[in-house]
Every structure is written in C-alpha cells, then in structure tokens.
Amino acid sequence: MERKTQFTALIHENQGLIIKISRLYTNCLEDEEDLFQEIVLQLWRSYSSFNGDSKITTWMYRVALNTAITSLRKFKKNEGLHDTGDEIAFAKIPETEDNQLQERIDKLYRNIKKLPDIERAIVSMYLDDLSYREISENLGISEVNARVKMNRLKKMLKILMESDE
C-alpha cells in the first residue's frame, strides 16, 4: 500500500485520539480544529521516521501530546487562546439519552482541563486504557512514576469533581 494511503487510513482509524487531545488542550472549536490540523501535519512529517519500536498509537500519542503542549505554550506566550467562555461538550455519547451521565462526563473533562499539561496527558492516556508502561514511554518517565502520578491525579480529580457541584 502506498505511504500516503497508509497514513490517511491511520489518521481515519485513530482520529478519536487526535480529537480528544485537541479538545483537552484548547478552549474553543476554532482552536481545536487548528490543533487537530497541526497534529496531523506533525504526524505526517514524522511518519517516515516511525520504525515500529512501539505501538502505532503510542507513537501517535507522543506526537499529538508534544504538538498540543508546544502549541498551548506558544499560544499562551504570543497571543493567548481564543476563549469564548463556552465550554465544549466532550465525549458525547450518541447511543444514549442519559443526560446525567453526559453531565458527569462533561464535568470530568472540565476538571481535567484544570490540570497542568503533563497531568492532563497522563489522565487522557489512562482514560484511553493505555498501560502504565505505555504512559511512561510516551512521557519519558518510569512506569512506577506514571502509576504514582495517576493515583495522585485520581485523588485530585475526585476533590475537583466534589467541589464542582
């Protein structure tokens, strides 16, 4: 299969991962779309250097997170993020009409966005069922450190969720 076709299929199969990272690191739809495009561009630029040492999704997470964090810092430093004041609804569940569940999911993502950049990344990967080993590989920390950080983040998110009521 041609390289461009393989890459397009890869993006299509894993666009949820890119969307999630884009939403967690932006405050409005316009910035989210810009970050999505920037992540795809960075994935394309580094696609030829992917050598299969890790899972493709682990590599994609690494590129997406690095791009998101770099873009966030650049925006904060230069021009600031667009902030419409509107919260974007996250993780919509199309198959259910369970409004309480959707409200809790939206609340969780609102509170995740309050965390520092790296902690947001850890929670995002944890929610996507990445192992502590994969999280540690993506962030360049030890597996034990990833586990400890996630346990602390669970406690912190619980407190944030309770205070957000």
Instruction: Output the DSSP codes for 89-154.
Output: P-S--TT---HHHHHHHHHHHHHHTTS-HHHHHHHHHHHTT--HHHHHHHHTS-HHHHHHHHHHHH
Report yes or no: 117 and 72 within 8 Å, Cβ to Cβ. yes
Angle of the 15-24 helix axis to the 56-78 helix axis, nearest 10: 30
Q: pLDDT by residue (tens digit) across 67-101?
A: 988 887 776 555 544 443 333 333 333 444 567 77
Domains and CATH numbers, the chain: 1-88 (1.10.1740.10), 90-165 (1.10.10.10)
Instruction: Output the DSSP codes for 23-77.
Output: HHT-SSHHHHHHHHHHHHHHHHHHHTT--SSS-HHHHHHHHHHHHHHHHHHHHHH
Residue type, 107: K
Q: Considering the entire predicted model, what is its pTM? A: 0.68
- Mean pLDDT, 10 residues at a time, the chain of 165 residues: 89 92 87 93 92 85 89 62 38 53 82 89 88 89 94 93 83
Alpha-carbon distance 112 to 126, whole Å? Answer: 12
